[in-house]
Each structure stands twice: as structure tokens, then as C-alpha cells.
Amino acid sequence: MVTLARMHHDRVLELRWATTWVDHIERIETLFGLPALPLAFSGLLPLARSSHALALKRQAALEVVETERRPLIWTDDDAIESDPLLVPRLRASDQPLLLISPDPRRGLQPNDLQVIANFIDKLRLPGEARRS
């Protein structure tokens, strides 16, 4: 099975951390043996409210589709569904969009990774080989 880290390494997609743990991400990468990835934002205050983190996550997603004008695959267990105006605004960008809200207790599952791989395959130009 193709993993997200492999897709990032092969430059099929660009992974960015957008988490409330962003200022301690090196610990998480080390703990789980993950590669160092770029951050979507940083500088959360130690006692920052979750609403502040949610706002930064939403802004990072909007930046990708509205400013960078790039497709967005966003997996998040709370930010996507927390703002009823967010998804319509993301869709209004006319950029390809895949939103996955995994169960916070289970995280991304193999089926989610397959959905992501299928989404990427649809974005590829005809005749471009799939790396796996």
C-alpha cells in the first residue's frame, strides 16, 4: 500500500503539518518515525484556545486553494466540520478538493489512504505513470 510519506517523498503530493501540536511536531515525527515535513503555520501560544488553532487550520486550507490555486487534500478530525461556511468557500475556489474527517480515536485508515490515492490518480495527466 502506498503511504502518505511515500507520496510526499515521490513528490506526488506535498504534506504539511496543520495541527494544534505544530510547535512540538519534531517530537511527534521522532516518536512515529515520520519524515520532517513543512508546517502550514506555527507560533501557537502554549495556552492557545482550540478556536485559535481551528482558525489557523482553516486559513491554511484557504491559502492553498485561493492563493496558491492548488488542489487540496485535507484530513482533519475537527476543523473541517467546525465552520459551516468553510466547505462552501473551499469549493468556490474551483480547485480539486478532497476532505476527510477521520474518527479522532482511530485516525486515518487504509480506506482513507486508498481514497487519497484515487483522488491523486484522477488529477494526473493522461499517460502519466502512477508511482507506488
Q: What's the confidence (pLDDT) of residue 33?
A: 81
- Taking residue 22's Cβ as centre, other Cβ atoms within 10 Å add up to 20
**The model scores a pTM over 0.85:** no
The C-alpha cell at 13 is 503530493
* Furthest CA-CA distance within the chain: 50
| Domain boundaries defined on the chain | 4-14+51-123
Cβ atoms 69, 44 nearer than 8 A = no
Q: What's the confidence (pLDDT) of residue 48?
A: 62
| Chunked mean pLDDT (size 10), the chain, 132 residues | 65 80 86 84 71 87 95 90 90 95 91 90 67 46
Distance, C-alpha 32 to centroid of its chain = 17
Q: Give the separation between CA 117 and CA 112, rounded to whole angstroms.
A: 9
Q: What's the confidence (pLDDT) of residue 8?
A: 67
Q: What's the confidence (pLDDT) of residue 83?
A: 83
Q: What's the confidence (pLDDT) of residue 100?
A: 95
